Amino acid sequence: MKFRKTICAAFAAFMLAVSAPASAEPIYGDGIVTIPDEELEFGEIALPDPITAAAETFPNDPEYSKQWNTLMVRPEKVYSNHAFGKRVKIAVVDSGSPSKHPDIGGNIAVEADFTKNKVGLYDSYGHCTFISGIIGADTNNGVGIAGVLPEVSIYSLRGLEGRTGYISDIANAVTAAVDTYGCDVINLSLTTPSDFASLRGAITHAVESGAIVVAASGNKSGSNKGTELLYPAAYDGVIGVGAIDKDKKRGSFSHYNSSVDACAPGVDVYSTVISGGYNTGRGTSYAAPYVAAAAAVAKYYRPDIDSAGFMDLLSKTCDPLGGAAQGERNDEYGYGMVDFQNIVEYLEPIESPEPSESPEPSAPPEPDTPAALENVNISKTENGAEVSFTVTNNSENAIFGDLYICAYDASGALRSTEIINDVELEPSASKDFSQPVNTPSAADNIKIFYWTDNLIPLTT
């Protein structure tokens, strides 16, 4: 079985700031990495008809029926097998923590900022929020959508300052994912056309440490024909991912070359967006997290599985496409579409190690709750509602964060969000708030979230 990737002999100039000579040697020094072109372009489109599944396998998230993308990869076995837990760690090296989204947070274990300019923990662009929703949006919480993994530990490591970031920042985040946090899987939904020594070294170190590294194969646009090799997907040992649509056809933008090892839904998929709601997006960035989640399932059953072992597993469990037989790959689809049911059924006979044999990593200590919401009163108005409440700081230190007031309909779907930014409370002090909320007529329930600098949600 071919596992090593063919590496392009000539490297292109990139972002006007970096150029590379025609050479097989990696580039030394720093450079720019970017989110693949034309991503996070949300449009008002008609979603495909939902794919049906047995009712008992559906989580109670009201928007789940719109997630044709998640239903197509058959997660029923993952949902019905309640043994899946948070001991598997996925690092998402991207645009910042998605924790401020009301439907993400339960699976976020760690947030860290690796950017040179220290732009902050929180996702300021929305790319990581969309990716994290696919992997691990809060599931069976009666709100919004469901992640493909009901329980997992997501390590949100910020390496992008927006659409772009420095190669060195991404390399540092990848290294920390393995050496500092002990992550099992690393998702890299970002690309560069050049082979940088620092990025190659970090990826090689991660793969040799046993982590499974998954990367987007890239999106074609402009002079990019879609056949060029992009990094990190083109590196040896990295699982490169292409995008398919609802008909299991390659997305017109999705790269096709020797870097593609598998594919997943990535055309008009439905997930969480930075505004606090949900929308559609397209790109190989949004196909990659499905394969990263599949790697997490493999790591759950076989903690020692590495990239080569996972590649072999994909060859035996993917739904082959493009006329290929099982175990055959092609440049458009790799070994085919990732299929969670096939993976679970293939691995299930192998008993997962008990904690005594392979102890679960200890969860980070929960910080003391520094504040509370009190005296909440909601009164209807002509245009919606007036929400008044008190935030009390019960600690001896000043705290600082943002307040989100979210309106949900009777089914639990998020309808609107009002944000009060930069709420600071002095030690042992209280502050009263009164906020008009322009709730849709269908809004039935209002919840208040307060996130401190430590990302502690306080709700009522």
pLDDT in tens, 57-67: 678 888 888 89
**Counting beta carbons within 10 angstroms of the beta carbon of residue 111, is it exposed (0 to 12), middle (13 to 18) or buried (19 or more)?**
buried
Q: Dihedral, CA atoms, 66, 72, 77, 79, nearest 10 degrees?
A: -20
DSSP-H helix ranges across 237-319: 288-301, 307-317
Shared domain for 306 and 450, answered yes or no, is: no
pLDDT over 90 for what percent of the chain?
52
Domain presence at residue 84: yes
> Is 94 tagged catalytic?
yes
Domain presence at residue 145: yes
> Which of 400, 387, 398, 402 minimizes the C-alpha distance to 433?
387
CATH number of the domain to which 399 belongs? 2.60.40.10
Per the structure, how many domains does the chain have? 2
Shared domain for 136 and 259, answered yes or no, is: yes
CATH number of the domain to which 274 belongs? 3.40.50.200
Q: Among residues 285, 307, 315, 416, which one is catalytic?
A: 285
Q: Minimum mean pLDDT among 301-310, 321-330, 439-448: which range?
A: 439-448
Shared domain for 330 and 419, answered yes or no, is: no
Shared domain for 274 and 384, answered yes or no, is: no
Domain presence at residue 7: no
Shared domain for 239 and 387, answered yes or no, is: no
Shared domain for 76 and 137, answered yes or no, is: yes
Shared domain for 302 and 389, answered yes or no, is: no
Dump pLDDT digits (tens) for 2-46.
344 433 322 222 222 222 333 357 888 888 878 887 676 566 556
Q: Among residues 94, 113, 195, 261, which one is catalytic?
A: 94
Shared domain for 235 and 329, answered yes or no, is: yes
How many alpha carbons lie under 13 Å from residue 396 in its C-beta half-sphere?
Answer: 0
Global pTM value: 0.76
Q: Among residues 61, 95, 103, 127, which one is catalytic?
A: 127
Shared domain for 233 and 156, answered yes or no, is: yes
Q: Please state, rounded to an integer, the average pLDDT across all residues of the chain.
A: 82
Domain presence at residue 357: no
DSSP state of 226: S
- Cα gap 153→109, rounded to integer Å: 5
Dump pLDDT digits (tens) for 120-175.
999 989 999 999 999 999 988 888 999 999 889 999 999 999 899 999 999 999 99
- Cα gap 174→157, rounded to integer Å: 9
Shared domain for 310 and 455, answered yes or no, is: no
Q: Is the dihedral of CA 280, 281, 282, 284 positive or negative?
A: negative
The stretch 267-284 carries a mean pLDDT of: 92
- Cα gap 60→197, rounded to integer Å: 47
Shared domain for 335 and 402, answered yes or no, is: no
pLDDT score recorded for residue 8: 34
Shared domain for 208 and 335, answered yes or no, is: yes
pLDDT score recorded for residue 194: 92
Per the structure, the complete domain to which residue 392 belongs is given by 371-459
Dump pLDDT digits (tens) for 35-78.
887 676 566 556 666 555 555 567 888 888 889 999 999 998 88
